[in-house]
Structure formats: C-alpha cells, structure tokens
Chain A
Amino acid sequence: MTDPTPFASIDDVLGTAEGWLGEGRKVALATVVKTWGSSPRPVGSRLVIDGDGAMVGSVSGGCIEGAVIKEAFEIMDGGPARLMEFGVSDEQAWDVGLACGGNVEVWVERMEA
C-alpha cells in the first residue's frame, strides 16, 4: 500500500498553505463565501497566495484573481481580514468584474505564521 491519491494534491490549497507556512513564507488565503448568478467557482473555493505572488487554487475563472492578490499582499503584511465583493454591477466591473455576469464575495485573510 503506497501513498493514496497524490494527484489530488494539486487541488489541496490548504495543504499548500501549510507547506508554505512551514517554509517561513508569508501567506494569505482567499475563500469564496457567497455567489449569485453564474459565478465560475462555487462557495468554498480557495486561492492561496505567498509574499512573492505564487498562487495555488482559484476563486474565479481568472477574472478577479489579480485584484484579490493585490489585496492579499496588504493583508499578509498585517492588514485586517477583508470581505471583497465583485460583480458586473460593481464599479470595478470594467477592470475586474466577472465576464460571466455573476457576483461573488471573497473573504481574504492572513494565515498566522
């Protein structure tokens, strides 16, 4: 009997966060907490980001990750956890709204070292 299901590790965002913290990296975690309409990733989807901008996982099809990462840098440097909302009605829509027409709320927090 060998190590079961190592393939799944590409999706183990929390496992990645744990590994990065163990290496002494600064880490932030973004989690989809609410969705309306046709948002691409369901509630509970996660993206983990380190201080150099390395990332694993996703909170959308790639449309809002840039904005989330920018916020994550501030939060991993000591900013308070924050709820970010994205959607077509948002004034940021032109830049980072969801092309699919959905809305999402993303909780961004620092992982304590």
Chain B
Amino acid sequence: MRKDIFSKLQTARRSKTPVTLVDGLDGKSQALVFHDRVDGDLPEPVVNEARSRLRDNKSGVAELSGGRWFFDCHNPPLRLIIVGAVHISQTLVPMAAIAGYEVVVVDPRASFATAERFPNVVLIDDWPDEAMEALRPDSRTAIVTLTHDPKLDDPALEVALRSEAFYITCLGSRRTHAKRVDRLKEMGFDDAVVGRIRAPAGLDIGAVSPAEIAISILAELTAVLHAKPIVAAAA
C-alpha cells in the first residue's frame, strides 16, 4: 500500500470518517473514496460503487470500467452505550470491546461510575437523557440499560426509542418489563416502538453470574446485528 494512502487511511479511521480504500487488482491503482471527496484517480463508475458500498458497509470485489477492483469499506466502529455502571457492565465492557465495539458507560451516580471500577472506558456522569442526546445513537449503535432503576433507565429509553439504534435491551424480569412497557406507553410510545426493546435481556442460556449475563447480551446483540433468527435453546 502506498505510504500516503495508508497515512490518510489511518487519519480517517482515527477521526471516524467513513472511507473506502479502492485497490485495482492489477496492482496499478489505489485510491481513497470519501462521501465528499476522492483522493486518487479513479473512473467515475468506480467512485460511485465505492460510495454505495460505503453506505451499505459492504466490502468486496466488482468488475467495472474494464478492471477488477477491491472495495475495502472503513466505517467507524459499532457503538455500545451501556446505561448503568453496575457489576454486569464491568464484565460487558471488556467483552464488547474485544468484539470490536466502541463502548460508553453512562451513570450519574458517582459511587458507581468510577475510573477504578471502569478503567479504559469512556464514562459519562450526566443524567441518562442528556448523555444519550449528546451521544446521538444511530443505526450502528446498540443500547443496553442495566440500572434496574426507572429513574435512570426510562430517560435513556426515551431517547433510545426515538433513535435508529439497531439493538435496545433492558435488564429486568418479565414483571419489571411489563411495568416498564406501561410507563413507556403512558409517555406516548406505541406498541411497535416499545416492542423494539428486547426483554428479558440477552439470549436464554441460563446465565447467572454477571459475566454470563454479559455473554448472553453480547450473543443476542450479535444475532440481531447479523439479522439471525434466534432459536430457543432446547429444553
């Protein structure tokens, strides 16, 4: 890879700017295609293909303009917003980070959201609705609320349900969730919208410990991301 191209690619990745690296598979051309500009010399159909693939986050090979090209899409990492700096979060944070998520933990309670309990993660101690508004969840964001406390979970959910987040779940028993559904409906959310919340949280793998619950949540999140039907475990 050309030095200038690699350096610009790394700069884009660090600043979370979406970019497609385009390789001519004859080894003769290499370029970067951004949504708003092109670095390099490419035929127009190749540039268009690069942008369309970037939108769909779909890397791959195509034959165009008399050549064979590899389109390598670099979108910012998927995000996971965890509301509640609780024990489960302490295990979910490193697991999700290994799986490639950029993780943010939101909890206004100073005794929970400490750097000692949560090293190496972005901690936000604002009230969940303010924090969520600022984070602007999009279609590449997953949201997990784990506080068990409606005062904290509900404001986060209000923002989550108005966003395009691809996965939303809340910790709590079926009974707790039924009450949550009632409250959200009183706030004006209809069944379809409230139905976006996955509850109970995580796949039914018999999880008991905080780490196991984190695994079940991460497993469900992965299944939803790849649009896999979730099959119930054999009894």
Contacts and interface: CB of A to CB of B under 8 A. Distances in A.
Given A7-B94, A107-B23, A109-B23, 9 more contacts: A5-B97, A8-B102, A14-B10, A31-B70, A33-B23, A80-B27, A81-B27, A111-B6, A112-B6
Contacts, number: 75
B156 interface: no
B122 A11 contact: no
B1 interface: yes
B61 A34 contact: yes
A91 to B, nearest CB: 22
Contacts of A18: 6, 10
Given A1-B122, A2-B120, A4-B122, A34 B72 contact: no
A54 interface: no
A109 B102 contact: no
A105 interface: yes
B18 to A, nearest CB: 14
Contact of B103 (A4, A105, A107): A4
Size category, A interface: 20 to 34
B71 to A, nearest CB: 9
- Range for the number of chain B residues in contact with chain A: 20 to 34
A81 B30 CA distance: 12
Interface of A: 1-8, 10-11, 14-15, 17-18, 21, 29, 31, 33-34, 43-44, 80-83, 105, 107, 109-113
Contacts of B77: 8
Contacts of B60: 33-34, 43
B81 to A, nearest CB: 13
Interface string B174-188: 000000000000000
Contacts of A83: 25
A21 to B, nearest CB: 8
Contacts of B215: none
B162 interface: no
A11 B100 CA distance: 8
B72 A31 contact: yes
A8 B98 contact: yes
What are the 7 A-B residue pairs with the smallest beta carbon separation, nearest first? A7-B97, A112-B3, A81-B27, A44-B59, A5-B97, A33-B70, A34-B61
B9 interface: yes
Contacts of B101: 5
Nearest to A17: B6
Nearest to B27: A81
Nearest to B69: A33
28 contacts: A1-B123, A2-B120, A3-B120, A4-B103, A4-B120, A4-B122, A5-B101, A5-B102, A7-B97, A8-B77, A8-B97, A8-B100, A11-B98, A14-B6, A14-B10, A15-B10, A18-B10, A33-B23, A33-B25, A33-B61, A34-B61, A44-B72, A81-B27, A83-B25, A105-B61, A107-B23, A112-B3, A112-B6
